[in-house]
């Protein structure tokens, strides 16, 4: 657990010095947008697959 905390602290310090706050927030929202898009597509494909299995 301590290694994760140290790793997280080092990454946070590096991000603080390398990215401006606006750029960091933009990257976080962009990653969230792509993650949500992928999850939505997978859920729709799963629903279509289940519907086709039920219809025969």
Predicted model pTM = 0.53
- Using a pLDDT cut of 70, give the percent of the chain over it: 91
- Tell me, what DSSP letter sits at residue 49? H
* Residues 32-49 pLDDT 10s: 888 899 999 999 999 999
Return the half-sphere exposure (C-beta side, CA atoms, 13 A cut-off) of residue 25.
3
Higher pLDDT, 20 or 44: 44
Give the pLDDT band (50/70/90) at residue 17. confident
Q: How many residues does the chain have?
A: 56
């Amino acid at each position: 657990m301590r290694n994760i905390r140290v790793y997280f602290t080092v990454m946070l310090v590096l991000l603080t010095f390398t990215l401006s706050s606006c750029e960091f927030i933009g990257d976080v929202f962009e990653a969230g947008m792509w993650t949500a898009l992928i999850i939505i597509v997978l859920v729709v494909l799963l629903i279509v697959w289940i519907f086709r299995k039920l219809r025969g």
